[in-house]
Amino acid sequence: MTRQSVARLSEHIVEIVSDAGEGAQKAAVSFAQVCAKAGNGLWTVEIIPSEIQPPPHTTGSASGNRIRLAERENVSNAGDLANVVFAFNEMALLSRLEAGSVAEDALFLIDDQWASHDIEAHRRSYAEVLERVRARGGTVIEVPLEKETRRHVDDTRRGKNMFALGMLCALYSKDRATMKAVVRDVFKKKTREVVDTAVRLAENGFSYGLENLETRFEIPALPSDLQKVAMNGNTALALGAVAAGFELCSMYPITPATSASHALSEIFEEFGGFVHQAEDEIAAIGVALGASYVGKTALTITSGPGMALKTEFQGLAVMTETPLVIVDVQRGGPSTGLPTKIEQGDLLHALYGAPGDAPKVVMAASTIEECYYILSTARRIAEDFRMLVIVLSDANLATGQQLFQRPDVSNIPRRLPVDLSPVPEGALPYDWDPVTGLSQPLIPGQPGGMGVITSLNHDRNGKACYDSERNQRAHTMRSRKLAALQKSLRKPEINGDREGALLLVGWGSTRGAIEEAVERARSGGLKVSSLHLTFLSPLPPGLKDIFRAFERVVTVELNYSDDPGDPLITDENRRYGQLAWLLRATTLVEVDCYAQVPGRPFMPAEIYGTIREHLAAGREALKEEPAPEPEEVRKS
Amino acid sequence: MNAQLLKPVTDLWHHHLGILDEALDESIRSLNNLLRLDEHHRHGREAGHLKEALGPFGSTSMDLSSLSEVLGKSSRSMSGERRQRIRGLLQRLSGLREICVDNSPTVPVAQLDQDEEEIRREAEAHLNRMARVFASLRAAQLEIRSKYEAEEHDSFFEAFDWRQLNATELSLCPPYIIHAVIGEHQAPALLKILSLLESRKPVKIIATRDALRKSYSPNCDTGVPSSLSLEMLPVAMRAVFFLQTSSALEGFNEQLFEALTSPRPTLVSLLQPKEDENTEAFEMRTERALRARAFPAFRYNPDCDSGFVSCFEIFAHPDPEDLDFARFALNESEFKDDFSAPPGNCHPRDLVPVTEYLSLNRRQRSGKHPCLFIEDREGQTISTILSPSLVTQFSDLLHLWKTLQELAGRDNPHVRQSRDALKAEMDVQKKALLEDQQEKLEADQKHREEVAVAVAVKRIVSTFTGINPASIDLQSMLSRQGSAGNDGLEVPPHLPGDH
Amino acid sequence: MTSIIEECLDEGCAMRTHSLEDYESEVPRWCKGCGDHGVLAALQRVLRKNNMDPENVVSVSGIGCSSRLPHYLKTYGFHGIHGRALPISTGVRLARPDLKLIATMGDGDCFSIGGNHWLHAIRYNIDGLVLVLDNEVYALTKMQVSPTTPDGWKTNTTPHGTYLQPMNPLSIVAGMTNVSFIAQTATWLPSHLDATIEKAWDHKGLSFVRILQRCPVFMPQAFGEGGLNYPVIFLENEGGIPVTSGLLKRGPAQPHDHLDINEAQRVASTVDPAPMGLLYQNPDLPTYEEVRAERCQRPDHQTFIKRLDRVLDRYAV
């Protein structure tokens, strides 16, 4: 083959999809590894069918990964539309078109076996889909994937993926030796024969690609000395739980949180801990609470429906001031909702889910790296403040993979034993500091500290009491701890200028996409900044001042809000995104929201679109009535 | 001590030291944990420590000095006095670990022929050294459980010596071992052993002998010798653990382990191979010695029960007819001088088999020669005469075996009496039962015959009269025949013609 | 290892002898004539008998009259939420097997709202005393029907009589996999109650004890007016709960093999007369905390760090 060209790119998004069970995920993970080893920055997102064995050759059966790879080291989100799709059949390809995640001029690689398949329906739909792709402006390369693979293995369902990997590596001009090493590593638990076959297939795919692809790409990596790791957010949570010194994680299976418990179960016993799978979500938090009560702060990991079941125990943890950490890996709700898909719909539930006034700490991870570190913070705050700490993650972080700097484990603090030293005569279980509400717990086993803690309202001595004065007092003390914690939070830093036309505010895993969109807008001269919140309860200080410096403040959230243009929706009855709701209530600033429930992460381009819309709306508003200073508007 | 014996003893020694070392290690770790906790209470809320504990997530979004201020100081640090005490204890424990980290291949073993005072001194020193280990472990546990009360415990541990050790601790204490070699004259060694055991110190005396010949003073009574017998020690000292066995016996290591971990003063009496004896030969000799009751293997463990019999266990009970001591001795080189040809003037009538000889009284023995009839190389029966010393030992051993059997509760007049009484009673019962069965059997037989006859009659009647056979009441026919007296026996179910 | 050191600590050296007062907290505020008083006293006696350091005992309860018990026992106590005493207890034992556990629940608490936890706690077999004080009625909420309310009885939610047959908790427990201890006693048989609690205390594993007790306020007629007219049969076996001559005045004795699960299931399924005593015991079952701790390693700090680094290696690129 002559006339080959290599296009140099700074980043690309490639999606690899097959029927469930055909191993597109493995090909994608291996490809990501090859790119990571080359030094490319990465973000991967799993494309998961919601059933275990969906009917093959349907859009519902599509399984695979989206990989965003870039020249730069730090890729903070899954990016916009895909540039390349490698599909094992046309229905898998179609599913990506339907998801709206592929660029119109994308390059499509597809197995050509369907063009001449025995089943007429397949032949027809293949032709139709290709037709549609081409009509959109896409380029199609038909690849003899099945035919080539069959030359090496009998069961092509277990082989095509490695051939595809080889082709992808050739397409992106990756190093053949690195690819072979990665394949060996990925299959290291298998027999020698399996490994050899996989390597051979990948090599064949690689050679085929070199010979037959007219256009190839190259995304050079920037050199870096940093040691890096790649993992998904749930694995990061699991390793982070170990690093944070937890010894017990009590859970009940729920998507998408469960894989964190899998990763933890795999290693925890080596570190002196274990995962207890309880009989239900309620027991899971109950066991964790029992362990925390006797001095070993425990962890429970769940998702939305589990959070709902845990609310009564959350109230108990708050009432008894027992330290406890709950991780909520959010998914689409309400009810069973979208179990495998992302949503940020549990914010207000985390804050206000328990009956009565139950102040608790809520914090959210925005990257996979933060998933690793967040539990150390959560645990220490839970213990020092004797509070329930809720850590919010989401399905995107849970299953996506990101490269980040390898954590330094050498400075992990030593795990402390349970303090069983005697306490002075007359020590009280709730010896509230009158200013901060803080106190130190009495732990079973400490001589002299015998006493009861109760779910009933109680006094400093732990004894139940029902009078109004002491009920008010106890509430005040529990609430005061949040204020004390808030005093030690930093004023958040603004991404961009401290003032301008528009401030986007976000929390959790949308951070990368928001900041990328803001950068794009700013490089186009737009006066946009963004603000990311790590603590949602208590909120950090200075928000009101920050907001006042911008003409418009808009939250960007993956949860539901009414669209003001919709029928019946008015200023009065519009329901806002959850962070917007919270910020409006706490700052009394007219915060708007871009809150959607697409069941996938935001693309920076979507946010960029929102930025433009809001700026346009702002200009519109200015045109209509040359308004007084924004501050005065709010004062009135 | 030979290598075969030294190995289990050394293993045990290192096993014990290992356990103590582990206990020291764990105590040190726990005490260090207490200090770390204290450190945490005193400094854990300073900004630097908070940064480490919170990790990058918290330390970038939080102002750590404000946090430190908000959290304030912990009120849970320990008193300076206690901190000081724990540090001192930690130092002591680390020092004691040196005692327990012992890589030497051999165990210190005292020899019985050393000066007795010296042995006592050394034993006392060894036990007290170990007592210091246990005392520190106890003190550490008290600290760990926050139960150390200086007022009460300082003086207690000040005065702590091996006498305060409890049974578990004594079992875990690497033993002070004294080796005694038992020769033909047992008395001198035995007296020294008794004296050492009497001190109450839980020393472990291992008495070994490779030969079984015992020599008696010439004027000793061959019938009832007055010599000291090592095996009778349990009767003399009820609180001493006693084991007599041989490395050739099954379960030897377990027996030895039990003896050496007893919290009591202990005497282990062992039969050992001779210098040039190979294992196989030694095993054979041990086996024969056991069969001949020349070396009874048994154990007395005073901790088993309060009653003597339950504490006393004989390992093997050979058939007395199988092999006797004289024939055993005949094969053993150590006894070769104890056999001689009959004197030339000896009349065959005066040659009495030794077993018979032993049953004679002193007057009857006069002029007789105890002998064994054996086959010579040509297969001729010849006689060999036993030395007086051998006869004495034979007699001595018979008495010993009988006594041991009685002590173990296997055989004594009371046992025999109740056994006989029980047997007689059982015999009577058995006889009555047999008779009863016989009677029933006969009655049954008779009844079957009658039924058979009746059925035949019924069939004939039915054939001749045409009456339905079912309407003939067999039962009443039989009872009319007056053949009562077979209660409980029913009509056999499958009588022909019933259909 | 630790156990060896513990054994070496003889009483004279480390332990203080405790008196009953050491386990007494405030004056109980249960109604006069309530059986809860008797259970509290029996627990205090068993604590003294075992000379337990009060700081090493944790008493957990749910919500209900009987769940007030931790308030009156001077040990560590956790008065939790309705139906959830057992998950908390499981957490306590998993984290701190050095603590002795007492879980106290009522019939509604354990058998109804906490039913799922009840079944699974038995299967886990954590080591602890699990007492259900069964008065056959919801009393704290003022007389609603409970799972064990006798057939046809009137309560505030069944003013014309109950609709369902009462549940037999014993046969449910006896039918659970991994059950290790089942006993039944009654507060009107104080010596039997004491002996049963002692037996349960000594058992390693989950000791499930159902204690029949009448609510003198809302259900005074229950249990034949508090045992006056209530047919019972005492299970008798060596190693079981002793049947004294005094008890025989209340009902006959019947030989029972408490080591035989089939026998236990048969006896558990009988309700009239109510079987009293030890129905089943399997002292050899491992406890859940033992099973989990056994597989758990205890690396020192350096090893911990080395291992974590090795885990990170798996994700290194």
Residue pLDDT, tens place only, A84-129 = 999 999 999 999 999 999 999 999 999 999 999 999 999 999 999 9
**Beta carbons within 10 angstroms of residue B314's beta carbon:** 17
Task: For residue A586, give the amino acid letter.
Answer: T
What is the distance between the alpha carbons of residues B302 and B259, in angstroms, rounded to a whole number? 11
Question: Taking CB atoms and an 8 Å cutoff, what residues of chain A touch C309?
Answer: 409
Q: What is the pLDDT of residue B86?
A: 96
What is the distance between the alpha carbons of residues A235 and A372, in angstroms, rounded to a whole number? 8
Distance in Å, alpha carbon of A222 to nearest chain B alpha carbon: 25
Mean pLDDT of all residues in C79-104: 98
Do A229 and C316 make contact, defined as CB atoms within 8 angstroms? Answer: yes
Note whether B153 contacts C: Cβ–Cβ < 8 A. Answer: yes
What is the distance between the alpha carbons of residues B390 and C204, in angstroms, rounded to a whole number? 60
Surface-to-core class of residue A447, CB atoms within 10 Å of its CB (0-12 exposed, 13-18 middle, 19+ buried): middle
Residue pLDDT, tens place only, A233-283 = 999 999 999 999 999 999 999 999 999 999 999 999 999 999 999 999 999
What is the DSSP code (8-state) at residue C106?
E
B271 forms beta bridges with B209, B246
| More confidently predicted of A362 and B148 | A362
What is the distance between the alpha carbons of residues C147 and C110, in angstroms, rounded to a whole number? 10
What is the distance between the alpha carbons of residues A40 and A220, in angstroms, rounded to a whole number? 7
Whether pLDDT at A622 is above 80: no
Do A535 and B56 make contact, defined as CB atoms within 8 angstroms? Answer: no
Of these ranges, A610-614, A630-634, B404-408, the one predicted with the greatest mean pLDDT is A610-614
Mutate to test the interface with C, among B166, B173, B261 (most CBs of C within 10 A): B166
Residue A230 backbone zone (phi > 0: left; psi -120 to 50: alpha; other: beta)? beta
Question: Taking CB atoms and an 8 Å cutoff, what residues of chain B touch C4?
Answer: 19, 23, 168, 172
- Residues with Cβ within 8 Å of C26's Cβ and at least 6 positions away in sequence, in order, are A463, C71, C72
Question: Taking CB atoms and an 8 Å cutoff, what residues of chain A touch C292?
Answer: 274, 276
**Token code pair at residue C17:** 């002898």
Do B63 and A374 make contact, defined as CB atoms within 8 angstroms? Answer: no
B138 vs C2, C8, C300: nearest CB = C8
What is the distance between the alpha carbons of residues B163 and B384, in angstroms, rounded to a whole number? 57
Do C56 and A456 make contact, defined as CB atoms within 8 angstroms? Answer: no
**Beta carbons within 10 angstroms of residue B254's beta carbon:** 10
Angle between helices A281-293 and C115-124 (to 10 degrees): 60
What is the distance between the alpha carbons of residues B301 and B242, in angstroms, rounded to a whole number? 7
**Token code pair at residue A52:** 């275990």
Alpha helix positions (H), A324-460: 347-352, 368-385, 395-399
Residue A222: pLDDT band by 50, 70, 90 thresholds? Answer: confident
User: What's the mean per-residue pLDDT of chain A?
Assistant: 93
Contact (Cβ atoms closer than 8 angstroms) between residue A103 and residue A81: yes
SS3 state at A194:
helix
Q: What is the pLDDT of residue B478?
A: 61
| Beta pairing, strands B266-271 & B241-246 | parallel
What is the DSSP code (8-state) at residue A279?
S
Percent of chain C residues past pLDDT 90, beyond the cut? 89
Contact (Cβ atoms closer than 8 angstroms) between residue A480 and residue A437: yes
Note whether A455 contacts C: Cβ–Cβ < 8 A. Answer: yes
Mean pLDDT of all residues in A552-556: 98
Distance in Å, alpha carbon of B80 to nearest chain A alpha carbon: 14
Do B61 and A411 make contact, defined as CB atoms within 8 angstroms? Answer: no
Whether pLDDT at C302 is above 90: yes
What is the distance between the alpha carbons of residues A101 and A606, in angstroms, rounded to a whole number? 11
Q: Distance of CA B290 to CAs A277, B298, B322, Å? A: 61, 11, 11
Contact (Cβ atoms closer than 8 angstroms) between residue C226 and residue C188: yes
Buried b or exposed e, range C45-75, using 16+ CB within 10 angstroms? bbbbeeebbbbbbbbbbbbbbbbbbbbbbbb
Residue pLDDT, tens place only, A488-512 = 999 999 999 999 999 999 999 999 9
Residue C205 backbone zone (phi > 0: left; psi -120 to 50: alpha; other: beta)? left
What is the distance between the alpha carbons of residues B36 and B24, in angstroms, rounded to a whole number? 18
Angle at A347 between CA A342 and CA A351, to 5 degrees: 155
- Please, what is the end-to-end C-alpha distance for chain C in angstroms? 42
Mean pLDDT of all residues in A537-555: 97
Structure ipTM: 0.96
What is the distance between the alpha carbons of residues B390 and B328, in angstroms, rounded to a whole number? 11
What residue of A is the nearest CA neighbor of B69? A488
Whether pLDDT at A333 is above 60: yes
For chain C, helix (H) and strand (E) counts, in that order, are 14, 11
Do C81 and A278 make contact, defined as CB atoms within 8 angstroms? Answer: no
CA atoms within 13 A on the CB side of C3: 1
Do A376 and B78 make contact, defined as CB atoms within 8 angstroms? Answer: no
Whether pLDDT at A636 is above 80: no
Peptide bond before residue A334 is cis, with ω within 30 degrees of 0:
yes
Q: What is the pLDDT of residue A627?
A: 47
Q: Distance of CA A94 to CAs A73, A104, A113, A599, B1, Å? A: 32, 13, 16, 18, 87
Distance in Å, alpha carbon of B92 to nearest chain A alpha carbon: 22
Surface-to-core class of residue B318, CB atoms within 10 Å of its CB (0-12 exposed, 13-18 middle, 19+ buried): middle
List of chain B residues with pLDDT < 70: 102-103, 105, 220, 222-226, 469-499
Nearest CA among B397, B399, B410 for reference residue B313 = B410
Q: Distance of CA B300 to CAs B210, B235, B268, B303, B309, Å? A: 22, 10, 10, 9, 9
**Token code pair at residue B59:** 């330390």
Q: What is the pLDDT of residue B480?
A: 55
Alpha helix positions (H), chain C: 2-8, 11-14, 36-49, 69-72, 85-95, 107, 115-124, 169-175, 190-202, 222-227, 245-248, 261-268, 288-295, 301-313
Do C8 and B169 make contact, defined as CB atoms within 8 angstroms? Answer: yes
Contact (Cβ atoms closer than 8 angstroms) between residue B404 and residue B300: no
**Token code pair at residue A192:** 């020698």
Q: What is the pLDDT of residue A154?
A: 85
Sheet holding B381-386, edge to edge: B339-340, B381-386, B369-375, B351-353
Radius of gyration of chain C (CA): 21
Peptide bond before residue C273 is cis, with ω within 30 degrees of 0:
yes
SS3 state at C228:
coil
What is the DSSP code (8-state) at residue A418?
P
Contact (Cβ atoms closer than 8 angstroms) between residue B458 and residue B476: no
Do B54 and A376 make contact, defined as CB atoms within 8 angstroms? Answer: yes
What residue of B is the nearest CA neighbor of A385? B71
Mean pLDDT of all residues in A577-595: 97
Subunits adjacent to chain B (3 or more Cβ pairs under 8 Å) = A, C
**B/C interface, count of CB pairs below 8 Å:** 38
Residue pLDDT, tens place only, C133-179 = 999 999 989 999 999 999 999 999 999 999 999 999 999 999 999 99
Nearest CA among B223, B217, B187, B247 for reference residue B394 = B223
| Beta pairing, strands A228-232 & A401-405 | antiparallel
Q: Please identify which residue in the block is written with the tokens 């209509």.
A: A624
Sign of dihedral through CA atoms A610, A613, A615, A621?
negative
What is the distance between the alpha carbons of residues A579 and B396, in angstroms, rounded to a whole number? 102
Residue pLDDT, tens place only, A19-41 = 988 999 999 999 999 999 888 99
Percent of chain A residues past pLDDT 70, beyond the cut? 97
What is the DSSP code (8-state) at residue C30?
P
Q: Distance of CA B272 to CAs A411, A576, B111, B203, B286, Å? A: 60, 94, 17, 21, 9
Percent of chain C residues past pLDDT 70, beyond the cut? 95
Q: Which long-range contacts (CB under 8 A, 24 or more apart) does B112-121 make?
A: B112/B178, B112/B179, B112/B180, B112/B181, B112/B189, B112/B192, B112/B193, B112/B205, B112/B207, B113/B181, B116/B192, B116/B195, B116/B196, B119/B178, B119/B196, B120/B196, B120/B199, B120/B201
Subunits adjacent to chain C (3 or more Cβ pairs under 8 Å) = A, B
**Beta carbons within 10 angstroms of residue B153's beta carbon:** 19
